[in-house]
């Protein structure tokens, strides 16, 4: 089970293979930050459209 999971995860970040072990939390945090930014932008757009 572990070998298949590692093989699938290592195929995507080939260039960041050395950095993935040192900083494995950067990728999920980037996804969370982008998700939060998208949600905030959508909320602001809805509020502006409702005010107009």
- Checking if the pLDDT of 48 tops 70, the result is yes
pTM of the model: 0.46
| Model pLDDT for residues 5-33, shown as the tens digit of each residue | 455 455 555 555 555 555 666 778 889 99
Q: Which of 28, 6, 5 is nearest to 17 (CA)?
A: 6
- Where residue 50 falls among pLDDT bands split at 50, 70, 90? very high
Report the pLDDT averaged over residues 24-48: 91
24-46 average pLDDT score: 90
Which H or E run includes 25?
Answer: none
């Amino acid at each position: 089970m572990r070998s298949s999971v590692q093989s699938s995860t290592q195929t995507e970040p080939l260039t960041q293979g050395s950095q993935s072990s040192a900083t494995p939390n950067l990728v999920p945090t980037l996804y969370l930050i982008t998700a939060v930014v998208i949600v905030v932008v959508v909320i602001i757009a809805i509020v502006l459209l409702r005010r107009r």
